């Protein structure tokens, strides 16, 4: 993923981040990334099952 894609996910609220130490340092928890990926797999599986995506 590109930095721009990450920023878009943060802006949309699909991915969470926190500011550390007030020095414009931001972090994304590994568990939040894993949750985002797991949800993306779930949504994709549902779309495939509904015939929404080619196999």
Which residues pair with residue 20 across a beta bridge?
A: 25
Residue 54 pLDDT: 67
The answer to pTM > 0.75 is no
Low-confidence ranges of the chain (pLDDT < 50): none
Residue 24 pLDDT: 84
Q: Who's near 6: CB < 8 A, 6+ residues apart? A: 15, 28
Count CB-CB contacts under 10 A for residue 8: 13
């Amino acid at each position: 993923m590109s930095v721009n894609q990450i920023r878009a996910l943060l802006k949309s609220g699909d991915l969470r981040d926190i500011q550390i130490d007030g020095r414009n340092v931001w972090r994304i928890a590994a568990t939040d990334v894993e949750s985002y990926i797991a949800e993306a797999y779930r949504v994709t599986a549902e779309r495939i099952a509904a015939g929404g995506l080619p196999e």
